[in-house]
Amino acid sequence: MAERLLDIKDLWVAYEEIEAVKGACLYVEKGEVLCIVGESGSGKSTLIRAITGSSMITVKGSILLEGEDLVPMKKRERQKLLGTKIGLIQQNPAGAFNPIRTFDKQFRETLKSHDILFDNEKLDQLFVTLGLKDTQGILKSRPYEMSGGMNQRIAIAAAMLMDPELLLCDEITSALDVTTAIAVTDELLRLKNEKGTTIILVTHNLGIAANIADKIAIMSKGEVIEFGSADQVLYDPQREYTRNLLRDVPKLIEK
Amino acid sequence: MAHLLEGKNLYKTYREKAKVTQALSDVSFYLDRGEILGIVGESGSGKSTLLKAIAGMLKLDQGSVLYNGKDFTGMTPRQTGAFLQMIFQDANSSFDPRRVMKKSIMESGRGKKDEGRILELVSLVGLEEDLLSRKPSSLSGGQCQRMAIARAFYSDADILLCDEMTSALDVTTQAQVVELLQDLKKDGRLSAVFVSHDIALVSMLCDRIMVMKDGTCVEEGDTLTVIKHPCVDYTKELLESARRQSIQEISE
Amino acid sequence: MKKKKRAKIKIVIIAALVLLLLFCAVFAGVLAPHDPSTPNAAAIRMAPCAEYPLGTDNLGRCVLSRVLFGGRTTIAATFLLVLISFVVGTLIGIFSGYYGGLLDKFLMRLADVFLAFPQMVVAIAVAGILNGGLMGAMVALGITMWVSFARLARSHTASLKNEAYIQAAAFAGKSDLNILLVHIFPNLLTPVLTQALTQIGTTMIGLSGLSFLGLGVVPPTPEWGAMIAEARAYIQIAPWAIMGPAAAVIVTIVLFNYLGDAVMDYREV
């Protein structure tokens, strides 16, 4: 059996008095893509927040990263992990960049702080696959001048350059066009295949998950109601709820 | 006979400092009664601009728009609202946050005060009556979008212009809204232009498809024809993405 | 939720104190133990005692009574001034933000001109030209006060007008005036009213300050600033005559500023 990179056991997360995640159990093996699928309010984003750590929530249970429990960890240790081992891409990319500094400066700074060389060619290649034309033009501009979709793609590029072991993606495709969403998932797949990055992708669209996942977890009302390999969940769902989610994915009518 | 809605050779350019963007370039379309026309394209393809230009929210550079054969180019939303209504992407913010739903719906009636009709429409879109006395912030996105459809119907407008109306919703809620639109179409109550980036969604709902790219219409035709026999590469690309994102076979 | 509740309790407590203060000012006539402007040769510069709780001033007038009546003048003038600036500023801001274009440019450059000078300096100059008096002082302060309301209302209007519900109202055939009054004004009322609350304290300082300089309320009408200015002359002999009005100014300003802050906190939570 492959090694579990992240192993979540009986996790309870609450915002003040509201329980958002209730006893979640799931894991992801090294080099796998895990998709967490659920409607808004299902607790899927809260689960991510529990992994990255946030002062607004109280967490019970354990989150083991390579056997080391993140829950009792101090804030500073946790933050150090966040830069090196764990990468995070959020749905709203606005928080990821300083709005008035050029991308060029911000890219160089982040890479420098993690001892990674700034490779123009690599960046160029990455930008093209993400559908970003004119790399130099983008690097010279500032986040506030860009549309949300553009910022999102640049944030993805930044996270990929950082080359983390575990990449957490919170609803990163839901604000994108279908074509771009597919390009982004392709890029994530490439990252997984070439670098062996482990990826956790949170989405409300099972269609996206079908495209990329090795494992799928379905969340509803704070609970993980189904968890298994992608084939198992997609083609032999055990729960009515999962079947409904499958039915709701828009299908191209070809007949 | 004249079409219900028609656009002829529409042009629109945006100028921002030195940057000139050709948002619409010689776009023509028509919509007949009881029909849904789907407009597909990525962001920046000009599909939203087209919708805004029809509604009078933007001024066209060139071309004309006609309603039942009558030219209404240059009319503002205040005037076009009499026969067409816009459904926005962000459903919650399309209602005044300080007002209850009933008041907002009533407003679109242009002086008409018919509570019975409102109740009828609210049940038509599949909502409970008691939601009418609530404010938009306490309704979900899906509920607000249904209310927006009810509001458009209450205004007695003939045409609905839907701008990415389901893309802010969950897949589940989106499916419910699409189902509602399908039902309304079956009853012959709906003539709409449905703008979306998701060709799969459009294929489920629309009679005809228009594919837009960089401000021009690259392909147009009957939905099934376009999906089965796309003429241009761009459409093929869109279809390919859509196929990969949809789950075709499901064991029931 | 807890934070919101706490912020609410804070507002209620401060609002209660403010109401108490307003009550004292409004019912000064009933509460005051003596007539505020009748001199009493038998009780000149008396230290606080049972009959004169805050002592008497140079002319033997009851300091407590004068503070109460002075509050009436100061608070009434402040409220009126803030109200007028609020109405004028908000109206200008709404139209400027909604219509944009040349009107907006003209009004906002005008606002810039007024903002270019320190408020108090303009007020002193204008009050000087107008030869003082309560009216003069109010005009002097009001001339720059509307600007902050106008700017706030303008920026809120400019972002509100792009909201989908404003567009929806246009599709419902509503006129610009209707949209402005029915949809935009009520939705920007809260932030602008909060601004008004925070302005009350500053305005009070401004009015008392002008009176202190002799450019505002003219004696013998009781007014806190003017009282401080008078009592300053004999502060070593009768410090109580200055302490009464000074304490009143401090308490009032602190209370109103707290109220403004509390309301702002509440909105942010």
Contacts 24+ apart (CB under 8 A), C102-108: C104/C154, C107/C150, C107/C154, C108/C151, C108/C154
pLDDT beyond 70 at A1: no
Could you say which of A149, A234, A251 has the minimum Cβ distance to residue B200? A251
Min Cα–Cα distance to chain A from C161, Å = 20
Please name the chains neighbouring A, where neighbouring means 3+ C-beta pairs under 8 angstroms: B, C
- In the numeric block, the tokens 């606080």 are attached to C48
Residues B206 and B153 in one domain: no
Residues C62-67, mean pLDDT to the nearest whole number: 88
Residues from chain B contacting residue C163 (CB–CB below 8 Å): 93
Please state whether beta strands B192-196 and B36-40 pair in parallel, antiparallel, or not at all (unpaired). parallel
Is residue B32, in this structure, part of any structural domain at all? yes
Q: Is residue B91 part of a domain?
A: no
* pLDDT for B252: 41
What are the chain B neighbours of A205 within 8 Å (beta carbons)? 171, 245
Contact list, A253 vs chain B (CB under 8 Å): 200, 203-204, 223-224, 227
Tens of pLDDT, residue by residue over A68-98, are 888 888 888 887 777 778 888 887 766 677 7
Q: Is residue B11 part of a domain?
A: yes
pLDDT at A12 over 80: yes
Give all chains having 3 or more CB-to-CB distances under 8 Å with chain B: A, C
Q: What is the pLDDT of residue A94?
A: 63
* pLDDT higher than 80, residue C1: no
Closest CA to A227 of A41, A1, A8: A8
CA neighbor of C249 nearest in space, from C219, C218, C210, C204? C204
Q: Do B93 and C165 touch (CB under 8 A)?
A: yes
Residues B180 and B109 in one domain: no
Q: What is the pLDDT of residues C168-183, one digit of tens each?
A: 999 998 899 999 999 9
Q: How many domains, chain B?
A: 2
**What's the pLDDT tens digit per position in A204-227?**
888 889 889 999 999 998 999 999
Regarding whether B193 and B210 lie in a shared domain, the answer is yes
Q: Could you tell me if B97 lies within 8 Å of chain C, comparing CB atoms?
A: yes
C-beta separation of C154 from C240 below 8 A: no
- B252 inside domain: no
State residue B251's pLDDT score. Answer: 40
**B53: pLDDT confidence band, cut at 50, 70 and 90?**
very high
B166 touches chain C (CB under 8 A): no
Q: What is the pLDDT, as a whole number, of residue C45? A: 79
Using only C-alpha atoms, what is the Rg of chain A?
18
**Which of the four pLDDT bands, split at 50, 70 and 90, describes residue C202?**
confident
Q: What is the pLDDT of residue B248?
A: 60
Tell whether B155 is within 8 A of chain C (Cβ): yes
Residues of chain A with C-beta less than 8 angstroms from the C-beta of B173: 39
Q: How far is B108 from chain C (nearest CA, A)?
A: 4
Contacts of A16 in chain C (CB under 8 A): 1-2
Chain A residues within an 8 Å CB radius of C2? 16
Q: Which residues 72-111 of chain B have a CB within 8 Å of chain A?
A: none
Report chain C residues whose CB lies below 8 A from the CB of B79.
173
What integer pLDDT is reported at residue C154 of this predicted model? 93
Shared domain check, B213 and B201: yes
Same-domain status, B53 and B138: no
- Please report residues of A whose CB lies closer than 8 A to that of B213: none
Share of chain A above pLDDT 90, in %: 22
> Which positions ≥6 away from A111 have C-beta within 8 Å?
A117, A118, A161, A162
- In this structure, are B186 and B65 located in the same domain? yes
Residue B32 is part of which domain span? Answer: 5-83+160-245
Q: Are residues B190 and B75 in the same domain?
A: yes
* Closest-approach residue (CA) in chain B for A41: B170
* Distance (Å) from the alpha carbon of B130 to chain A's nearest alpha carbon: 23
Q: Rounded to an integer, what is the distance from CA C198 to the centroid of its chain?
A: 8
Domain end position, chosen among B117, B137, B157: B157
Minimal-distance CA residue of chain B relative to C168 = B94
- Residue B178 in contact with partner chain A when CB distance is under 8 A: yes
- Closest by Cβ to B108, choosing from C163, C172, C183: C172
Sheet strands side by side (includes B36-40): B84-87, B159-163, B192-196, B36-40, B208-213, B216-222
> Which residues in C lie closer than 8 A to residue B151 (C-beta atoms)?
168
Whether residues B52 and B100 fall in one domain = no
CB < 8 Å to B247, chain A: 206-207, 210, 234, 246, 249, 251
Q: How far is A24 from chain C (nearest CA, A)?
A: 25
The residue among C247, C246, C231, C240 whose CA lies nearest residue C52 is: C240
Per the rule left: phi > 0, alpha: psi between -120 and 50, beta: everything else, C120 is: alpha
* Among candidate residues B107, B128, B157, the one where a domain is terminated: B157
Q: Which residues of C touch B163 (CB under 8 A)?
A: none
Rounded to the nearest angstrom, the minimum Cα separation between B8 and chain A is: 28
Residue B250 has pLDDT above 60, yes or no: no
Q: Nearest CB to A211: which of B42, B170, B245?
A: B245
Asked whether the predicted pLDDT for residue B217 surpasses 90, the reply is yes
pLDDT at position C25 over 80: yes
Task: Please indicate whether, in this complex, the C-beta atoms of B247 and A39 are within 8 angstroms of each other.
Answer: no
List all residues of chain A from 59 to 98 with a beta carbon under 8 Å from chain B: none
Confidence at A8, pLDDT banded by 50, 70, 90: very high
B56 lies in the same domain as B166: yes
The mean per-residue pLDDT over the stretch A108-115 comes to 76
Question: End of a domain among B157, B173, B194?
Answer: B157
Of B175, B237, B244, the CB nearest to A248: B175
Q: Do B44 and B130 fall within a single domain?
A: no
Q: Decide if B89 is inside a domain.
A: no
For residues A132 and A107, what is the distance between their CA atoms, to the nearest angstrom?
A: 16
pLDDT digits (tens, 9 = 90+) for B199-215: 999 999 999 999 999 99
| A172 in Cβ contact with A157 (< 8 Å) | no
- What is the ipTM, given to two decimal places? 0.85
What pLDDT sits at residue B38? 95
**Residue carrying structure tokens 């839907």:** B162
Q: Which of B198, B204, B251 sits opposite A253 (nearest CB)?
A: B204
Residue C171 to residue B90, Cβ atoms within 8 A: no
Which of the four pLDDT bands, split at 50, 70 and 90, describes residue A148?
low
Taking the C-alpha atoms of residue B71 and residue B57, their distance in angstroms, rounded to an integer, is 16
CATH number of C2-27+56-268, picked from 3.40.50.300, 1.10.3720.10, 3.40.50.720, 1.20.1300.10? 1.10.3720.10
Calculate how close chain A gets to C225, using CA atoms only, in Å: 46
User: Same domain for B222 and B201?
Assistant: yes
User: Smallest CA–CA separation between B38 and chain C, in Å?
Assistant: 22
CATH number for B226: 3.40.50.300
Least confident of A151-165, B36-50, C10-24, C178-192: A151-165
Q: What is the DSSP letter of C235?
A: T
Q: Is pLDDT of A130 > 80?
A: no
Residue C205 at interface with chain B, using a CB cutoff of 8 Å: no
Angstrom distances, CA of residue A17 to CA of A20, A59, A61: 9, 12, 17
Which B-chain residues 132-151 have CB contacts (< 8 A) with chain C? Answer: 151
B199 in a structural domain: yes
Q: Is there a contact between B78 and C164 if contact means CB atoms under 8 Å apart?
A: no
Which phi and psi angles does C169 have, rounded to 5°? Answer: -65, -35
Q: Least CA distance to C2: which residue of chain A?
A: A16
Q: Between chains, do B175 and A253 touch, taking CB under 8 Å as contact? A: no
- Asked if B112 is an interface residue toward chain C (Cβ–Cβ < 8 A), one would say no
Mean pLDDT score of chain C, rounded to an integer?
86
Q: CB count, 10 Å around CB of B30?
A: 16
Q: Do B43 and A149 touch (CB under 8 A)?
A: yes
Q: Does C1 touch chain A (CB under 8 A)?
A: yes
Q: Strand A198-203 to strand A33-37: parallel, antiparallel, or no bridges (unpaired)?
A: parallel
Q: What is the pLDDT of residues C91-113, one digit of tens each?
A: 999 999 999 888 889 988 988 88
Q: What is the mean pLDDT of residues B208-226?
A: 93
- Over residues B92-147, the pLDDT tens digits come to 899 999 899 999 999 988 888 888 999 999 998 889 999 999 999 888 888 999 99
Q: Tell me: do B131 and B12 sit in the same domain.
A: no
